[in-house]
Amino acid sequence: MSLEISAPKLTVTILGSGTSQGVPMIGCRCAVCRSDDPQDKRTRSSIYLAIYGSAATLGPVERIFHYAFNPKSKVPGYVHVLPHVVTEPFELCGIEITPLPVPHGAVSTLGFLFSQAGRKLLAYLSDCGSIPEPVRAAVAGAEVLIIDGLRDKPHPTHLTVGAAVEIALALGARRSFLTHQTHEKRHVDRMRDLPASIEVAYDGMKIEFELTP
């Protein structure tokens, strides 16, 4: 997801809405992987937030991509990463961003709540197996919720679509979007089964918020 702030508007772009395998999945010949619908093309679930994360996340990332974090020499035009370890809310361009630890199997990942002057704009919970009560309380009433909804069948580290829908309705967002989708169902078929306030995120989708000057 990328964030573009052009007063008085915030534009959120979904960069990826799929799993780590992506859709189409290599070697798969299912109807979704062979679909011509661009909304069925799903790259790894992501939004653009520079490099902000927990120490537990950034440590392995920095080790694996050491050439970007600690290059021996800086090459013009090549990526140079400046990581930011977050343990508490921080602000970017007038938007307060609150990190929200959520369980992902035996480890924790971070979701984020984006707010302006107490107004809860967006809750982004893209990679989790459940939503703890303190996180639910923090994001309740957010205008938009983007939530992990992997598939219909249970998974040890991700929410099912049914669980994500139940949580979204309980949290009361005006609009909710399922992300981290597998190749098991086409976009149009998944949309057909959802309540009116819940949609399926897709790569390149944009969500706009009018900000208070």
User: Domain span at residue 177?
Assistant: 2-210
67 φ, ψ (degrees, to nearest 5): -65, -20
The residue with tokens 């990581």 is 83
What average pLDDT does range 40-47 have in this prediction? 88
Sign of CA dihedral 166, 171, 177, 183: negative
Total number of domains in the chain? 1
Which region among 57-66, 102-111, 156-165, 167-176 has the lowest average model confidence (pLDDT)? 57-66
DSSP H or E segment with residue 10: strand 9-13
Are the C-beta atoms of residues 49 and 112 closer than 8 Å to each other? yes
pLDDT of residue 116: 94
Indicate which CATH number applies to the domain containing 54. 3.60.15.10
d(CA 175, CA 204): 17
What does pTM read for this prediction?
0.86
- Mean pLDDT rounded to a whole number for the chain: 90
Which region among 74-83, 158-167, 174-183 has the lowest average model confidence (pLDDT)? 74-83
Extended beta strands in 55-193, E state:
84-85, 90-92, 95-104, 107-116, 119-125, 144-148, 175-179
pLDDT at 30 > cutoff 80: yes
pLDDT of residue 142: 97
pLDDT at 182 > cutoff 80: yes
List all residues 6 or more positions away from 194 whose beta carbon is below 8 Å from its beta carbon: 165, 178, 200
Are the C-beta atoms of residues 83 and 58 closer than 8 Å to each other? yes
